[in-house]
Amino acid sequence: MSQKIRGVKGTRDVLPIDTYLKDDDPWVRIGHFHLVEQSARDLFPLYGYREARTPVLERTELFVRGIGEVTDIVGKEMYTFDDRGDSVTMRPENTASLVRAYIEHNVNQQEPETKWWYLGPMFRRERQQRGRYRQFTQIGIESLGSPGPRIDAEQIELLFRWLRTLEIPFEMHLNTLGDAACRPKYREALQAYLRSRASELCEDCQKRIETNPIRVLDCKNPKCQQVAAGAPKMEQFLCEPCKVHFQGVQEMLGRLGVEFVLDPKLVRGLDYYTRTTYEAIATSGLGSQSTVAGGGRYDGLVKELGGPDIPGIGFAAGVERMALLLAQQGKERAVRPVVFIAPLGDAEAARADALAQQLRAAGLAAEVSFRKANPGNQLKRADALGARFALVLGEQELKTDRAKLKELKTGAQHEVSLSALPDEVRRLATAG
């Protein structure tokens, strides 16, 4: 026998069945993904977002300039390779890609405000753990052209409503990172403070003092957290326009009925953010990787990537993390057959296939049995598939055109005419 080929570390298969269940990582099925995706497809257009799809492969430079050279993502997590002279990268996130497309297609000349949403796989070479994979799926939105703060509040309300609808337990965290006018002063003050306590920080954070001091604030190391607790706060350094913006976001969230907590440690892992940042954090069920969705404002990114000076704001949610939470709650969206047809012989099999064809043409999900088995076992199979009705076809049924449709949950038997089967099934299915 040839040797088995296993999937790549950090990637997962999502199947319709439970293939395995591990204590530290409950298996999610494709139905959990569908629930997350469908709810986004239903909700996001109500806010004016239209779907955009960009390629997985982009030029490496896009992420180096967009996300920032000194971030963990660009520094050590990208899947980058040489494509015969061009350096390309499998996208680690989608904001930079959408902004690239926005600039490339001159979208700002066609519309003053743009609202796009997206869904797709992202790639980061991270240490694998529960809720953290090397290929994962994001659903996100980006809005370009509105300086806020009303759009900021509208987006946060969208995320709030989406997670509430799915009954995901979470808290909305909110912060501001200031802008090009006030952040440099904060950075300097923070750096001076961190330098004075450098010996207490972990090795990574000692480096971050010079490269990316704000990231020290969200380091998970308890010693770094202790140092961070005494650090100067952005709030004290905000310029007047940033202060007014942040006040505005909070007031509007209050009006829209969105509950949130102010979190000065919410600094995000990508360099493009300005002003508002927000994260939805699961309050149970995800362990250490508890951020379900995160985002914020990126007013300088379009310009940084060679476009006009246009502001933007967005978020992305981790679909695997949401699916894990839904799996734990036993929630799923799965299509089950309405009718399972079990023929007893060859003549009946041909009729079963034709009946299934008619049912499907009428928009009813139908499955036929391809196995020879006694009626009892056929009913068991129908039950396992989760079918609503089962129909056993024998010689007698074909001759008389009458058959018994068994309702699997209740055991009720309904006599139906085979030649009018789609109508009969629809009538019974809507009756109860």
- The site for ligand HAM (CB under 6 A) is made up of 93, 95, 124, 126, 131-133, 136, 138, 140, 142, 269-270, 291-296, 298, 314-318, 320-321
Bridge-based pairing state of the strands 402-407 and 389-393: antiparallel
By beta-carbon proximity to ligand HAM, the closer residue of 96 and 359 is 96
Please provide residue 334's backbone torsions phi and psi, each rounded to the nearest 5 degrees: -135, 140
By beta-carbon proximity to ligand HAM, the closer residue of 145 and 314 is 314
Place of tokens 């759009």: 151
Find the shortest distance in angstroms from Cβ 45 to ligand HAM.
18
By beta-carbon proximity to ligand HAM, the closer residue of 98 and 342 is 98
Place of tokens 């990268």: 89
By beta-carbon proximity to ligand HAM, the closer residue of 32 and 321 is 321
By beta-carbon proximity to ligand HAM, the closer residue of 232 and 269 is 269
By beta-carbon proximity to ligand HAM, the closer residue of 237 and 272 is 272
Please state the separation of Cα 84 from the chain's center in Å: 33
Report the alpha-carbon distance of residue 56 to residue 40 in Å, rounded: 21
Find the shortest distance in angstroms from Cβ 207 to ligand HAM.
20
Find the shortest distance in angstroms from Cβ 107 to ligand HAM.
16
Angle at 354 between CA 350 and CA 359, to 5 degrees: 145
β-partners of residue 315 are: 141, 295
Encoding tokens for residue 12?
A: 């997962």
Alpha-carbon Rg of the chain, whole angstroms?
Answer: 27
Report the alpha-carbon distance of residue 392 to residue 374 in Å, rounded: 10
Find the shortest distance in angstroms from Cβ 319 to ligand HAM.
8
Find the shortest distance in angstroms from Cβ 278 to ligand HAM.
9
b vs e for 14-23, b when ≥16 Cβ sit within 10 Å of the residue's Cβ? beeeeeeeee
Find the shortest distance in angstroms from Cβ 202 to ligand HAM.
21
